[in-house]
């Protein structure tokens, strides 16, 4: 396991997957992480997890979710419920065609890591889920790059709305108040927008850079600032 930057702090993670072997594998990957990753619980379904943590809580920093662990049809509805409740979700799943990855991001996931990718990618995604800097694993990058874009990421309507409000207001609390959503939801949408820009080679690590991208792509005009 790779050593981590000392400025990162301990992360608490919940695992949702119906396969016990996945729970064991994730725990093994995270066991030697530094800074530490504390697995606060393993759950076999979203319903079981949300019976304990119905809304976002400081006890759970990040949730890893096995999207397709419930049969042949990916449970985007369950993923959406997790995200709407304010949880920061990293999808960690077997199916990794472009459509499933993009649909997962549209449903609210902050990142997508295929189970065929290494545990280091999952760990990077978990650390990044708490930060303003997105982590794009290889399969997620391929999906974003192969989306129907030409240098422009496909932002959802909600991502555009949050991005516009954040460019106009001083902080995320004011954005949350304007849009009647949680601050954590604002943060998630901005993180996903950054991930999509990074995947097409147009990184936006700062607010100023993200404003510049928004103006370039016609999401925001100078008059609206």
pLDDT at 4 > cutoff 70: no
The domain covering 11-145 belongs, at the CATH homologous superfamily level, to Response regulator (3.40.50.2300)
- The domain segmentation of the chain, as residue ranges, is 11-145, 157-224
Q: Is this structure's pTM higher than 0.75?
A: no
Q: What percent of the chain has pLDDT over 90?
A: 33
Q: What is the pLDDT of residue 2?
A: 36
Query: What per-residue confidence (pLDDT) applies to 131?
Result: 74
12 pLDDT more than 80 = yes
Tell me the average pLDDT across 22-27: 91
Going 164 to 204 to 139 to 88, the CA torsion angle's sign is negative
pLDDT bracket for residue 207 (50, 70, 90): confident
Q: What is the pLDDT of residue 206?
A: 78
Q: pLDDT at residue 60 above 90?
A: yes
196 contacts 154 by C-beta, under 8 angstroms: yes
**DSSP helix/strand/coil, 122:** helix
The answer to whether the 11-145 and 157-224 domains have the same CATH topology is no
CATH number of 157-224: 1.10.10
Which residue in 155, 130, 150, 167 sits closest to 201, CA to CA?
A: 150
Question: Rounded to an integer, what is the distance from CA 3 to the centroid of its chain?
Answer: 22
What is the arithmetic mean of pLDDT over 174-193? 91
- Give dist(CA 52, CA 69) in Å, integer: 20
DSSP per-residue string spanning 34-62: SS-EEEEEEESSHHHHHHH-SS--TT-SE
pLDDT of 147 reads: 62
Q: Is the pLDDT of residue 200 over 60?
A: yes
Using one digit for the tens of pLDDT, what is the confidence trace for 123-170? 999 998 887 666 889 998 888 767 654 567 888 888 989 998 988 888
């Amino acid at each position: 396991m790779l050593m981590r930057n000392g400025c990162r702090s301990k992360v608490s993670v919940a695992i949702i997957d119906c396969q016990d072997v996945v729970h064991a594998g994730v725990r093994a990957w995270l066991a030697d992480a530094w800074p530490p990753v504390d697995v606060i619980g393993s759950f076999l379904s979203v319903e079981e997890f949300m019976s304990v943590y119905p809304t976002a809580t400081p006890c759970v920093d990040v949730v890893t979710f096995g999207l397709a662990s419930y049969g042949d049809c990916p449970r985007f509805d369950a993923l959406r419920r997790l995200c709407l409740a304010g949880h920061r979700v990293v999808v960690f799943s077997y199916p990794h065609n472009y459509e499933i990855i993009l649909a997962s991001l549209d449903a609210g996931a902050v990142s997508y890591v295929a189970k065929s990718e290494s545990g280091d990618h999952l760990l990077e995604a978990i650390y990044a889920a708490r930060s303003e800097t997105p982590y794009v694993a290889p399969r997620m990058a391929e999906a974003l790059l192969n989306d129907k874009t030409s240098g422009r990421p496909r932002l959802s309507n909600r991502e555009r709305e949050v991005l516009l409000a954040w460019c106009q207001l001083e902080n995320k609390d004011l954005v949350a108040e304007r849009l009647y959503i949680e601050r954590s939801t604002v943060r998630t949408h901005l993180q996903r927008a950054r991930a999509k820009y990074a995947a097409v080679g147009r990184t936006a690590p700062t607010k100023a850079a993200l404003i510049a991208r928004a103006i370039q792509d016609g999401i925001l005009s100078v008059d609206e600032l």
